[in-house]
Homo-oligomer: A and B are copies of this chain.
Amino acid sequence: MTSQRRVVAEVLDGEHVHLTADEVHARAVAKLPEISRATVYNTLGELVSLGEVLEVATDKRAKRYDPNAHQPHHHLVCARCGAIRDVHPTGNPLADLPDSERFGFTVSDVEVTYRGVCPNCAGG
């Protein structure tokens, strides 16, 4: 493990962060001025492969990186400001997909994104 990778891992440390790659890069630069974007992308890619970090694509702009990979959860996104909260719905959506709706697929994963308006945006 190199100093660059350590810095990227440190940036992602913390529970409720959902940073874009560029935001990760910006924060990494603050700690290690000459780290490059390419290295940040490489390291994020490795962390994702290792299962340490999740990619979330809640908006259609940049992917976000979610360090809370070990507790399964879904996301609630504000349609106005883009704020993201981790949420834990009851029930298991995988169980809600009957065999007749699986078309022979081996279904392994489900991703749920709730959309709405956050109190800040609603209040203003």
Contact = CB atoms under 8 A, between A and B. Distances in A.
Contact of A103 (B91, B96, B111, B118): B118
A76 interface: yes
A109 B83 CA distance: 15
Contact of A118 (B57, B104, B122): B104
**Integer count of this chain's copies in the complex:** 2
Interface residues of A, number: 38
Interface string A41-81: 00000000000000101001001000000000000101100
Contact of A93 (B85, B103, B112): B112
Interface of A: 55, 57, 60, 63, 76, 78-79, 85, 87-91, 93-94, 96-98, 101-119, 122
